[in-house]
Amino acid sequence: MALMITDECINCDVCEPECPNGAISPGDEIYVIEPSLCTECVGHYDTPQCVEVCPVDCIPKDPKHAENHDELMAKYQRLNAAD
Ligand code: SF4
Ligand code: SF4
């Protein structure tokens, strides 16, 4: 499942540089995650790095983008094959 940033985001900027996939960017009002780029950090780290650093815990799983571990790993491999 890709993750999503809720409106509790305080625009602290700390998550953006932690994302190994460049999936996080400043949106119009709060930071946003591009679901096609988010692997929940599968392939890079054991835990979602943005969740680790977010001071207000506003990054839950996005129920609109349900993916299991194998699908996330396949996404990681697709993204890295394109490098
Ligand atoms: Fe990026 Fe990982 Fe957060 Fe997804 S879970 S947005 S890949 S840091
Ligand atoms: Fe928003 Fe959390 Fe990212 Fe800070 S770390 S910009 S509060 S989502």
The residue contributing the CA closest to ligand 2 atom 8 is 9
What pLDDT does 6 receive? 98
Q: Where are the domains of the chain?
A: 16-79
Contacts of 41 (CB under 8 A, 6+ apart): 20, 21, 47, 48, 49
What pLDDT does 1 receive? 82
Q: Compute the distance from residue 63 Cα to the ligand 1 centre, in Å.
A: 15
| Residues 36 and 74 sit within 8 Å (Cβ to Cβ) | no
Among residues 57, 58, 49, 61, the alpha carbon closest in space to that of 18 is found at 49
Among residues 38, 48, 46, 44, the alpha carbon closest in space to that of 75 is found at 38
Architecture of domain 16-79: 2-Layer Sandwich (3.30)
What pLDDT does 82 receive? 56
Q: What is the mean pLDDT of the chain?
A: 96
Whether residue 83 has pLDDT greater than 80: no
What is the mean predicted confidence (pLDDT) over 54-77?
A: 97
Q: How far apart are CA 81 and CA 4, in angstroms?
A: 24
What pLDDT does 49 receive? 98
4-42 pLDDT tens trace: 999 999 999 999 999 999 999 999 999 999 999 999 999
The residue contributing the CA closest to ligand 1 atom 2 is 41
Question: Is 19 a pocket residue for ligand 2 (Cβ < 6 Å)?
Answer: no
Among residues 3, 2, 1, the alpha carbon closest in space to that of 57 is found at 3
The residue contributing the CA closest to ligand 1 atom 8 is 19
Question: Is 59 a pocket residue for ligand 2 (Cβ < 6 Å)?
Answer: yes
